[in-house]
Amino acid sequence: MSRTGVLAGVAGALVGLVLLPILAVALIVVPAATATVVQLSGCEQGGPGGGSIVVDRQQLGAEEMDIARTIVDVVQQRRLPRRAAVLAIATGMVESGLRNLDFGDRDSIGVFQQRPSQGWGTREQILNPVYATGKFLDALIALPGWDTMAPGQAEQAVQHSGFPDRYAPREPAAAAIVARFWTGPDNPTPPAVPGGATEAVQAKTLCPDQGGSDVPREPDKVDPAKLPPGFTLPDDVRQRAAVGFALGQLGKPYVWGAKGPDAYDCSGLMLASWAAAGVGIPAGTVSQVHAGHAVSSLDQVQPGDLLFIPGSLGTAQVPRHVGMYAGHGLIVDAYDTGTGVILESLSAWTSKIVAIRRIADPSSPSSPPGGSPLR
């Protein structure tokens, strides 16, 4: 956990390939019971969480709202009270600004700035917001009376921050954000038996699915579900981990906004794959197109690189689909809702690629260790 509150992230420049426009849009004020939300952009720059907003003077972009929606979704899937989502989002706003940070105080990382050295999980696990949210909720609901504590007290009891007064002021804004995504009753009925089956409940998605791949499939050239004979993973340890994870998801379904472990959308697969390599990247295609650094041509592409295409609903300026180069002329991606995670040929994508981003150069060092304990 960061002892200094919100940490500033550094956005990579998209050099020579894609220049995303700054949109001038009308402001829409959305009333909420506890805070005022000002909508800055809509689905033209959004994702499952909608576009960017300002809530009580804090601006949150499409990436942050995607993560907020993921947090609410995890809470709803576990059928926990709405209050749990408010506390989780308030904590994420303080600790990271609702970003999937790859760094922090000591070994603190991720949305909640959790520390691998203090029992929160491995670096690879914590850098997936789905896992990180689950661990936060485990610690939260283990507190007797967590849902009736005064503002800020439950968050502090979980986080053990050096700045305990920072959580309570964020709760009204967190409540306004949760209100945008929450579905069903505030206190859903838990399963009759722990782990028992219940009707699936998901958080709202504020923008419709913004499109899968539009690259014609070539099953006669590439088996979408099976690696060809002689395929080998890259030698670099992080590239190997990211590519190996992505390939391990072949056949899983595409679900808009999903980041695993049972389903993915295209950017969710990229986030989870690089998390498996111990590298945190943003949520959402429009943010991932700035991750890492630019690769100038396909001649320089390496396994693990992210390849961006307009997809079925995007443009060259705002690509809506991303896949990972797996090596050996293959791409792995979550294709669309009817297809799921598949292999495709790089040659089929070549004419449509508008950006290539390298997330981690081979053999470059990992982030230094450090952060606050799980107790």
Q: Facing residues of 114 across strands?
A: 109, 372
Rounded to 5°, the CA angle 56-60-272 comes to 145
Provide the residue-wise pLDDT of the chain in tens; the chain has 375 residues: 544 443 333 333 333 343 333 333 333 333 344 699 999 988 888 899 999 999 988 999 999 999 999 999 999 999 999 999 999 999 999 999 999 999 999 999 999 999 999 999 999 999 999 999 999 999 999 999 999 999 999 999 999 999 999 999 999 999 999 999 999 999 998 876 666 656 778 899 999 998 899 999 988 899 999 999 999 999 999 999 999 999 999 999 999 999 999 999 999 999 999 999 999 999 999 999 999 999 999 999 999 999 999 999 899 999 999 999 999 999 999 999 999 999 999 999 999 999 999 999 997 654 433 333 343
CB atoms within 10 A of CB 336: 20
Q: Write the DSSP symbol of residue 299.
A: G
Which residue do the tokens 């009270």 mark?
A: 81
**9-46 burial code (b ≥16 CB/10 A, e <16):** eeebebeebbeeeeeeeeeeeeebeebebebbbbeebb
Q: Residue 45's pLDDT is what?
A: 81
pLDDT digits (tens, 9 = 90+) for 163-216: 999 999 999 999 999 999 999 999 998 876 666 656 778 899 999 998 899 999
Q: Residue 19's pLDDT is what?
A: 36
Q: Would you say 56 and 36 are in contact if contact means Cβ atoms under 8 Å apart?
A: yes
Q: Residue 371's pLDDT is what?
A: 35
Q: Residue 218's pLDDT is what?
A: 87
Q: What is the pTM of this model?
A: 0.87
Q: Would you say 114 and 190 are in contact if contact means Cβ atoms under 8 Å apart?
A: no
Q: Give me the phi and psi of 109, to 5 degrees please.
A: -150, 165
Q: Residue 364's pLDDT is what?
A: 62
Determine the number of helices (DSSP H) and then strands (DSSP E) in the chain. 10, 10
Rounded Cα distance between 213 and 18, Å, is 18
Q: Residue 15's pLDDT is what?
A: 38
Q: Residue 195's pLDDT is what?
A: 61
In angstroms, how far is the first alpha carbon of the chain from the final one? Answer: 12
Contacts of residue 94, defined as CB under 8 A and 6 or more positions apart, other chains included, come to 5, 6, 155, 161, 166, 167, 170
Q: Facing residues of 357 across strands?
A: 294, 306
Q: Would you say 321 and 213 are in contact if contact means Cβ atoms under 8 Å apart?
A: yes
Residue ranges of alpha helices (H) inside the chain are: 62-77, 82-96, 123-126, 129-141, 153-159, 171-181, 237-248, 266-275, 285-288, 346-349
Q: Tell me the DSSP string of 191-206.
A: PSSTT----------S
